[in-house]
Amino acid sequence: MRPHLFVGRAETPVAFVETMSGGVRLKALDREAVRAGLQPGLTLADARARVPELEVYEHDAHADHEWLERLADGCQRYTPSVALDEPDGLILDIAGCVHEFEGERRLAADLEERLARRGLLVRHAFGDTPDTARALARYAGAPAPDEKRAVKRLPVAALGLDEDATTALSRAGLKTVGDVMARPLATIAARFGEEAAMMIRRLDGSVKGPIIARRTVARIGVERRFAEPIARTEYALEVLAELATEAVAQLADRHEGGRRWEARLFRADGLVQRLRIETGQPTRDVALLMRLFRERIDSLADPLDPGFGYDLVRLDVALAEKLDASQLKLEGGEAQKGEVAQLVDQLGTRLGRARVRRFSARDSHIPEQAELMLPAAEAPAPTPWSAPETGEPPLRPIYLFDPPQPIESMMAEVPDGPPHRFRWRRTVHDVAHSEGPERIAGEWWRRQDIPTRDYYRIEDRRGRRFWIFRHGLYSEMEAPRWYLHGVFA
């Protein structure tokens, strides 16, 4: 759906079409088009003949779904439990959520008003179960004094059966849901299938269908509503800090700390802005959280725009882990580690987690694969690095080129020896000292065709130390190439 199409437009009928096997057919229509006598399912050619001024758009089910998702996001201001009723419905579980609105009717009025601002026309209904609410909203029956009777007066189509079954029910003289309910369930099940019987039991309230909420409800969530929308981001952040303090108090009661936090700023016009942060260690430090939220805001591609103001701010703790009070009293080395961990979180939030790394040893003898750089926030248990041998100079460079840089060997070398002179980055280096070869074979159990590398540690006449290798043995290939893999201190 493209809501902008429906706001303040000239009254031209609009239709969405879908290409099907039988040609291009109408899929959805606006009010004007319906008034002009069109129906979904008509071929486009027919529709054009009847209403020449018809505006036609390709139907995009995916975009519709996305739009519905966004509306559902917005509806989370009323209740955390919102389910999609595809293709054009939403089911809200408002049990226990209406106190903010002094009754469900006020809540519905608020919702309708908000959606109307977006150009949406909605029909709503309340029900004891999701199914009755859904049926009452989607189908119109004769007026009734209460919910039970209203359901009974709905047309049989409200059972949501396939077309054949619905027609068969009407032919049998069963026009309303109440007519069907009056029959023994076993007969209905035998004639129209188990599905029909199930639906009736759901509508009369004897079985409650579940609401499949879109997102799992966070274990701890705090929120603040404003009668007047607040237009300053700075103030919204102050509110967020208050909420964080509340959430932290709840976490403290459970001896937990939050690791994943999500703040949602609901704008008065229905847009929701999300801020997600994550810490490497569970935390209950409000100052730290606020610093991370500010980092997150600074790193947003689109700056936070309050628009007409925020009327609801919500903070959820999406992931909490054990954090005992005693662990907060860090001392000495632990306090130091804690501070570094905070710095890692802070930089990770701003720069991206992958940019802040720690080294981790890996079991491979291929130099460039022997170590991993992991996001520091993921904090793997420190792996022991093999200690260097006493008295030896460093045998591995401190800077490693990946991929290795080709060098030009300029003086004929003795077979299986290093070059006497080579050119790297347009500079000629004369080799004064060298050590090698250190032979590093390819991981032949992974791939067969990797040539062996012969590594040499060399020093040129100016004292620069390099790590070079010949890619391949003379027996393996005719003219193996030389590469510079790293530089030593």
Which residues of this protein are in contact with other proteins, per CB under 8 A? 335-340, 342-344, 346-347, 350-351, 355-359, 361, 367, 370-371, 373, 376, 382-383, 385-388, 390-391, 393-402, 425-427, 432-435, 457-459, 461-465, 486-489
Residues with Cβ within 8 Å of 217's Cβ and at least 6 positions away in sequence, in order, are 80, 81
Tokens (6 digits) for 290: 């606020």
For the CA atoms of the chain, what is the radius of gyration?
Answer: 35
Kindly give the pairing relationship between strand 55-58 and strand 14-20: parallel
- The CB-of-343 to other proteins minimum distance in angstroms stands at 4
Residue number, 142 or 343, with CB nearest to other proteins: 343
- The CB-of-372 to other proteins minimum distance in angstroms stands at 9
Sheet arrangement for strand 256-267: 220-230, 310-322, 256-267, 272-283
Residue number, 1 or 344, with CB nearest to other proteins: 344
Residues 141, 175 contacting (CB under 8 angstroms): no
- The CB-of-457 to other proteins minimum distance in angstroms stands at 6
The continuous run of DSSP H or E covering 399 comes out as strand 399-409
Residue number, 390 or 448, with CB nearest to other proteins: 390
Strand partners, 278: 260
- The CB-of-419 to other proteins minimum distance in angstroms stands at 15
Residue number, 63 or 370, with CB nearest to other proteins: 370
- The CB-of-273 to other proteins minimum distance in angstroms stands at 23
- The CB-of-327 to other proteins minimum distance in angstroms stands at 16
- The CB-of-441 to other proteins minimum distance in angstroms stands at 18
Residue number, 24 or 341, with CB nearest to other proteins: 341
Residue number, 273 or 342, with CB nearest to other proteins: 342
CA distances from 468 to 26, 442, 445, 473, 475 (A): 70, 16, 24, 14, 19
- The CB-of-277 to other proteins minimum distance in angstroms stands at 15
The continuous run of DSSP H or E covering 238 comes out as helix 233-253
Residue number, 342 or 409, with CB nearest to other proteins: 342
Residue number, 164 or 392, with CB nearest to other proteins: 392
- The CB-of-287 to other proteins minimum distance in angstroms stands at 13
The Cα 137–Cα 128 span in angstroms is 13
The Cα 398–Cα 367 span in angstroms is 12
Of 424, 427, 442, 433, residue with least CA distance to 485:
424
Residue number, 141 or 486, with CB nearest to other proteins: 486
| Cis, peptide link before residue 87, omega less than 30° from 0 | yes
The Cα 47–Cα 40 span in angstroms is 10
Sheet arrangement for strand 55-58: 23-29, 14-20, 55-58
- The CB-of-482 to other proteins minimum distance in angstroms stands at 17
The Cα 451–Cα 466 span in angstroms is 21
Residue number, 83 or 468, with CB nearest to other proteins: 468
- The CB-of-354 to other proteins minimum distance in angstroms stands at 9
Residue number, 3 or 393, with CB nearest to other proteins: 393
CA distances from 16 to 33, 68, 69, 338 (A): 10, 17, 20, 58
Greatest alpha-carbon span in the chain: 105
The Cα 435–Cα 394 span in angstroms is 12
Helices assigned H by DSSP within 51-182: 61-75, 104-117, 130-138, 147-152, 163-171, 177-182
Q: What DSSP state is assigned to residue 444?
A: T
- The CB-of-31 to other proteins minimum distance in angstroms stands at 51
Tokens (6 digits) for 386: 């093999």
Residues with Cβ within 8 Å of 416's Cβ and at least 6 positions away in sequence, in order, are 437, 454, 473, 474
Residue number, 53 or 368, with CB nearest to other proteins: 368
Q: One-letter amino acid identity for 63? A: A
